[in-house]
Structure 1
């Protein structure tokens, strides 16, 4: 009996090992990708997590997005040249990064909005990334821990971010920041929030309470629109057998959770653009996106095969709001944007959002720099412990900010 159990365990272990080995080498890594074995390892761990969630959902009721949350444990950096302070601004938790050596000089300021699909608390996970940025150049960074969907859907997250943004701009002297050198920065969903903050600051007909102007906007593979889910980058990253942790299906689930909270709608219908409506087609910004989508590489027909008016009514009051989909903001707002740096990754369903934004800002005369990483995937900049290119990308961002600090044009 004992031998039979032992043999059974060996058989199970052999089957699991064979499955994981097959999956490790089965991911379709494109030839331009770098650090492929590290990438395969990350994708394998992500596939295991997704498989475990699907298994749990067979027995436990719950929200898939919430089940996938994994909190990063706090880390200590006793020898670091950067010190941090956890505090609150207007009731919102923040972490402030600053040089360990005290200085009377006013330092460049950065307000950072973390990624995670508006649903995952990656605030702690970004600690290492922001320390890298703070080490590369002396600056003060404020990282915002905004409320998360689906428990706190739109506009809870942007509301938290805005009260912190405004508080920082009102208190640059207290924070030791140079009011003439403030940057808004974010990645993925945080890139969305950074751009939304810029829109909100510029939406007033006059300067809000004499706040200092934001000098730079840094958007790292941002999520910018929920209008067209049939862009080439969305089509290329559907399913589970893809070279990135972010699939098109997961991205749409994030959008739904952000908009509707705990309510579910058909992801597959949204991926087919079944939420298109006459209201959407009447908006000039939506027409521009559709026209430019046709010019993207490998572009195909975006029109939906069928339309679902009930779905459109439910989601489009959020999807068409520029504070939700900032790519839909009016020209009169976007043309007032500061120096903008856009970073995109090739293996990313959000890739084409960045290309559309860069084209639109260029047409409006905004000074924009676009850095496209052909060899990398979504989320890479937050994994400095794994990818060498994450460090390199952060160095390029900081170098850009240094150049803007000395450029009076």
Structure 2
């Protein structure tokens, strides 16, 4: 008995020591590789969130190395494991639209007319996220805006490469537009909404449906710190916020390549800008250029980037990055002119800030009405952290109120 007790104590001591080492290592990595600018909202809390994120990723890597599960699988499980109970104000039901899992949130309160419909595409770099990870966010939108919200569980990379996620979101939106009345929604008042990679998908779906005469026209697009281009990872926001959690510059390129090809080969070329031929870069420079970014967004530092050419081998592996369904900022003016009005939310301390600013300019230049909300103390992922009761941020709550 004494021997068993001793072994148990030793085992617990080893676990405690491993936990302490893990936390110390995560803290060291955080301070060595990240930067929290002075203007960020609640910086200490952001450090805590980032250290937790690093620790979880390390545990996932350890489990992968010893053959228990993949790191991606572990992280997906950890991100989506929280299940909420019944909501007193909403009917919530899981269904399938066109072989894609969806979760529908419908207000219980009676309505004299058909409600607004909101198609929600979750973020997560096309690699992470599911119906659970954005559950609280979707509930909040449905309750506060009194809308029917459809959260889409699209297929994820790297198992399912581009255009799988886009096709799932398009199919589900098309299905809902044709059947909105069945769910108490007005087919003429349907909005597409998404955060980060979900914002990318919302913009792409909006562009595709803008040319469809056989479907009701989308009412609006809500793009929450969207990633919209892959030509230039050296725009001002990518330089200024390259090491700001929760999305590093390298991570933005990594996730995009996972979605495109199922791997991150040639990531260095993408980061330095030697993945697209110079003539193609020059052709799109009228839309993707630091010259189109207002000067006030360059004061924190910006070094103009020299154009680099690429090899045929590299370009052949990433040439689809020039497709608007993957990079909506590259859509032709004739497409942009037909788009519904937009709400765009950007964050000052986000590598993707300038993607949103450039798309805002493109829409406005083509006569599309834009409502823009900029979180001057915000960072990437701040809206979805409202899912957490104790790790939410006041700036994120302000942004969410503006979205609603």
TM-score interval, normalised by the smaller of the two chains = 0.7 to 0.9
CA distance in 1, matches of 2:86, 2:287: 51
CA distance in 1, matches of 2:167, 2:23: 47
Instruction: Confirm or deny: 8 A CA contact 2:177 2:216 kept in the other structure.
Output: yes
Deviation at 1:339, TM superposition (A): 1.5
Name 2:232's counterpart in structure 1: 228
The SS at the match of 2:96 is strand
Name 1:403's counterpart in structure 2: none
Deviation at 1:29, TM superposition (A): 2.3
Deviation at 1:302, TM superposition (A): 2.5
Instruction: Confirm or deny: 8 A CA contact 2:277 2:309 kept in the other structure.
Output: no
Change (3 A) 1:212 1:235: same
Give the alignment of 1:13-162 within 5 angstroms.
28-53=35-60, 55=62, 68-69=75-76, 70-103=78-111, 105-162=113-170
Change (3 A) 1:388 1:86: same
Change (3 A) 1:290 1:24: closer
Instruction: Confirm or deny: 8 A CA contact 2:60 2:72 kept in the other structure.
Output: no
Name 2:3's counterpart in structure 1: none
Q: Over residues 164-209 of structure 1, what are the superposed CA-to-partner deviations in whole Å (9 max), with x where a residue is unaligned?
A: 11111111211211233211111101000001011111235xx1x1
Name 2:382's counterpart in structure 1: 380
The SS at the match of 2:323 is coil
Instruction: Confirm or deny: 8 A CA contact 2:293 2:358 kept in the other structure.
Output: no
Name 2:245's counterpart in structure 1: 244
Change (3 A) 1:136 1:174: same
Name 1:338's counterpart in structure 2: 340
Instruction: Confirm or deny: 8 A CA contact 1:293 1:299 kept in the other structure.
Output: no
Instruction: Confirm or deny: 8 A CA contact 1:274 1:306 kept in the other structure.
Output: yes
TM-score by structure 1 length?
0.85
CA distance in 2, matches of 1:214, 1:225: 23
Deviation at 1:380, TM superposition (A): 0.9
Give the alignment of 1:271-290 within 5 angstroms.
271-278=271-278, 280-281=280-281, 283=283, 285-290=284-289
Name 1:174's counterpart in structure 2: 182
Name 1:292's counterpart in structure 2: 291
The 10-residue stretch of structure 1 (15-24 or 329-338) with the greater mean CA deviation from structure 2: 15-24
Instruction: Confirm or deny: 8 A CA contact 2:121 2:199 kept in the other structure.
Output: yes
CA distance in 1, matches of 2:285, 2:95: 40
The SS at the match of 2:383 is helix
Instruction: Confirm or deny: 8 A CA contact 1:118 1:148 kept in the other structure.
Output: yes
CA distance in 1, matches of 2:250, 2:28: 23
Name 2:306's counterpart in structure 1: 303
Name 1:312's counterpart in structure 2: 315
TM-score by structure 2 length?
0.86
CA distance in 2, matches of 1:334, 1:244: 32
CA distance in 2, matches of 1:147, 1:117: 12
- Indicate yes or no: 2:396 matched with 1:390: yes
CA distance in 1, matches of 2:345, 2:119: 17
1:327 to 323, 326, 329: 329
The SS at the match of 1:383 is helix
Quote the RMSD (CA, aligned, Å).
Answer: 3.0
The 10-residue stretch of structure 1 (20-29 or 92-101) with the greater mean CA deviation from structure 2: 20-29
Deviation at 1:277, TM superposition (A): 0.6
Change (3 A) 1:73 1:17: closer
CA distance in 2, matches of 1:85, 1:11: 44
Deviation at 1:110, TM superposition (A): 0.7
CA distance in 1, matches of 2:252, 2:74: 15
Change (3 A) 1:13 1:125: closer
The SS at the match of 1:159 is helix
CA distance in 1, matches of 2:271, 2:166: 25
Change (3 A) 1:365 1:52: same
Change (3 A) 1:203 1:310: farther
Deviation at 1:363, TM superposition (A): 1.6
Deviation at 1:14, TM superposition (A): 6.6
Instruction: Confirm or deny: 8 A CA contact 2:344 2:360 kept in the other structure.
Output: yes
CA distance in 1, matches of 2:237, 2:62: 29
Change (3 A) 1:181 1:309: same
Unaligned runs of 5+ residues in structure 2 are 1-5
CA distance in 2, matches of 1:339, 1:33: 30
Instruction: Confirm or deny: 8 A CA contact 1:182 1:214 kept in the other structure.
Output: yes
Deviation at 1:272, TM superposition (A): 0.4
Q: How many residues align?
A: 388
The SS at the match of 1:289 is coil
The 10-residue stretch of structure 1 (146-155 or 32-41) with the greater mean CA deviation from structure 2: 32-41
